[in-house]
Amino acid sequence: MYKHKPFTDKIVIVTGASSGIGRATALKFAKGGASVVLAARSHDKLKRVADEIAPFGTPVHVVSTDVASREQVDAMVQGVEKEFGRIDILINNAGGGAVGTVEDSQFADQARKLLEVDFFGKVYCSQAVLPIMRRQGQGVIVNLSSVVGRKAFPRFGAYSTAMHAVSAFSDTLRQELHGSGIQVTTVYPALTQTSFFSGLPKDRMPVQFTHMRPLAPETVARAIVRAVRKRSPRLILPWQPPLMLLGDTVSARFGDWFVRMMDKGWFMRLIGMYGRGP
């Protein structure tokens, strides 16, 4: 529990708030005194998260929203503005996943679906809140990407493509909003223990996940809250992936070698990321 309430009087929208990183992030902001708007497709799951937040004594609103629908996103944001008069922080977290090789017959359809939710959902939400934040002269937009949004993994091509798109969108938006008082932060977590992989075929998972210790959603949520407070433009976690990304910048061969080595238990122990995958 915070000793003080750093987000008192702040209005925070969290998409994909029904579970995982979204749920954990909503709880963190609520503990910090924020009024939290929970957005996702499942009203029942959102209600359970709202019940968890209720004891903190901060306002919480549930809005069933499919971020792939511009109309639903616009309605959600307009409703929040009408209710609270402002929007201070948007956490663009909603998204899905897919596994399989580029040669799979369903690859194009998977990539298209992920782009609709993981990428365009963030575009729609950002475009919806920006006029409000511009009138305020301040605001924060946090876009959740992934480490594979900086370095793609085999069998994760569709998801990696969507996450690379999020990364490019965030970088563009951050630069376009320079000097506006609106901060854009991109968060790149490594493998995280969420329901993200539920229903995905285990035998088609990237082999790199076999020996990778997943992050706890709460760890990512704490990092997101910290990044908002520090107005960080970019956050990659844990500390090991930046080593791979730095090497990949210098040499694609090195980056590919690093990814291949991640399916070896001894290597993952060496870099401190060893554990049981999803």
Q: Which residues are catalytic?
A: 159
**Distances in whole angstroms, Cα of residue 58 to Cα of each of 9, 28, 50, 54, 179:** 9, 12, 10, 7, 31
- DSSP classification of residue 265: H
CB atoms within 10 A of CB 144: 28
Which amino acid is located at 157 in the chain?
G
Q: Is the peptide bond before 214 cis (omega within 30 degrees of 0)?
A: no
User: Could you give the dihedral angle defined by the CA atoms of residues 54, 18, 230 and 173, in that order, rounded to the nearest 10 degrees?
Assistant: -140
- How far is 206 from 174, CA to CA, in rounded Å? 31
144 with 131: CB under 8 angstroms? no
